[in-house]
Amino acid sequence: MTKSRPLPFIYVALAVFFLTIPLYGGDYVLEMLIIAFWFAYLGSCWNIVGGYTGLLSLGHGTFVGIGAYASTLLFAHLGLTPWIGMIAGAVVASMAGALLGYLSFRFKVRGVYFCLITMAATEIVRLVFEHVNWLGSTIGIFIQAVKGAGGAAVYQFGPKWPYYLIIMAMTGGILGISYLIERSKLGYFLKAIKDNEDAARSLGIPAIRYQIIAMAISGFFIALGGTFYAQYRLYIRPDLVMGVHFSVEIVMGPVLGGWGTLLGPILGSLVMTPLGEFTRWLTEIIKTTFHMQGLTGLHMITYGLVLVLVVRFMPNGIVGFYLRRRELKREKESAAG
């Protein structure tokens, strides 16, 4: 199959564009892009389980939270730099993911039920964290600010652009890893399991093992995103990095952009965050132009409308939609030719 030439060039151009934004963007744009790419990163990590393996997890916030809390607690109590602490957090998160996976798949929890298990799990973890005092409870943990040069050693920076570059690098990294998975035997097996678990099993594929591996990998990387957040905001609290509400936010990007695809999660997140800002701005304009008072909440309605409409007209996400169109076009061409 011939690859169309213009595509790779667009990617390079986009990469250059995004990488040079700190030079002319300004802090507001950077702030927005950092959040957008953070969700893009989280969504791509989730995609390994949700998209490639076909397991709709609505509890991935758990692993983000584990990552954030692990590195933060290690820093606060042992002075361990989060650069190392985040690895510890990632390991714990991947073990938690594997455990959850093991319990679920061994007991044959599938589809929607698995979804509910993940929701229950993340709520339990969140509530427990909110209850235990030395984990910060409902107050959360404030990370001691380290100003100046010493900050970099403990994953803290004054300006925004270092954070921006880090999250860009992480996103590029998870993109690369996803690409490798797609091309590897693991990816092949995961896809088989996703398409039809029973059929795959009858072919001798140890489905449970690979599902657990997917959970572990996904959990590991998404936890790194948790540490990033903790170091960017210098404050964590259970409801900010855990729980169903947050977990659902993680999934919105991939589902919108097209889960199971390589770029879908990233595209979806990059659309969502500016979209949110845009609808807010639009609401402001309407409010001031028409002098309307009771319009609070309008942008949330617009947000909801977007969700409903995209699902209705592009049920496989944006990338999925595009890919299908391309496929249909090819079918038409080969039928004609």
Partner 1 sequence: MLYVQALINGVLLGAIYGLMALGLSLIFGVLRIINFAHGTLMVVGMYSSYWLFTVLGADPYVSLLPAAAFLFLVGFVLQRYILNPIVDAPEEMSFLTTLGLGLIIQNLILMAFGPDVHTIDTAYKLSSLAVGELNIDVAKLLAFGTSLVVTGVFFSFLQWSETGRAIRAASDNREAARLMGIDTKKIYCIAFAIGAATTGAAGACFSTFIPTSQDVGMLFTLTSFVIVIAGGVGTYHGTLIGGFLIGIVEELGAVMLSGSMKQVVSFCLLMVILFFRPQGLFGREGD
Partner 2 sequence: MNNKGKNKGISRRDFLKGTGALVAGAAAGQFPTILRAAPKEILIGAIEPLTGNAAEAGQMATWGLELAVDHINKAGGIKSMGGAKLALKVVDSESKNEVGAMKAEQLIRQDIVCLVGAFLSGVTMAVSKVADRQKMPFVIDVSTADQITQQGFEYTFRVFPTTTRLLDTGLDGITEITKARPIKKVVMMHISEFQGKSVTDLLLPMIPKKGLKWDVVKTITYPENAMSLASEVGEAKSLKPDAILVVARQRDAIMLVQEMYKQRFDVDGVFGMVSPGFADPGYQKEKLSGYSFNVTPWHDEVQPFAKKVAEEYQAKYKKPFIMNGAYPYDTILVIADALERAKITDKDALRKALRETRLTQKTGIGKVIEFDDKGDNKGAGAGLMQIQQGKGQIVYPSYAATAKAVYPAPPWKDRG
Residues that bind partner 1 (CB under 8 A): 50, 56, 58, 103-104, 107-109, 111-113, 115-117, 119-121, 123-124, 127-128, 130-131, 244-245, 248, 252, 255-256, 259, 294-298, 300-301, 303-308, 310-312, 315-316
Q: Residue with structure tokens 């199959």? A: 1
d(CA 275, CA 180): 31
Residue 209 binds which of partner 2, partner 1, none (CB < 5-8 A, kind-dependent) = none
142 contacts partner 2 (rule: CB under 8 A): yes
DSSP string, 114-162: HHHHHHHHHHHHHHHHHH-GGGTGGG-EEPPP--STHHHHTT--SSSHH
Count residues binding partner 2 (CB under 8 A). 33
What six digits make up the tokens of 203? 């072919």
What six digits make up the tokens of 185? 């035997």
Question: Closer to partner 2 at the Cβ: 27 or 327?
Answer: 27
What minimum distance in Å lies between the beta carbon of 103 and partner 1? 6
What minimum distance in Å lies between the beta carbon of 201 and partner 1? 17
What minimum distance in Å lies between the beta carbon of 103 and partner 2? 26
d(CA 44, CA 265): 5
Residue 26 binds which of partner 2, partner 1, none (CB < 5-8 A, kind-dependent) = partner 2
What minimum distance in Å lies between the beta carbon of 192 and partner 1? 18
What six digits make up the tokens of 84? 């190392």
Q: Residue with structure tokens 């990552």? A: 67
HEC secondary structure over 265-294:
HHHHHHHHHHHHHHHHHHHHHHHHHHCCCC
Best CA proximity match to 93, nearest among 70, 123, 63? 63
Residue 179 binds which of partner 2, partner 1, none (CB < 5-8 A, kind-dependent) = none
Of 19, 21, 32, 87, the residue at the interface with partner 2 (CB under 8 A) is 32
Binding site for partner 2 (CB under 8 A): 22-24, 26-28, 31-32, 35, 127, 130-131, 137-140, 142, 145, 147, 158-160, 233-235, 237, 240, 277, 280, 284, 296-297, 300
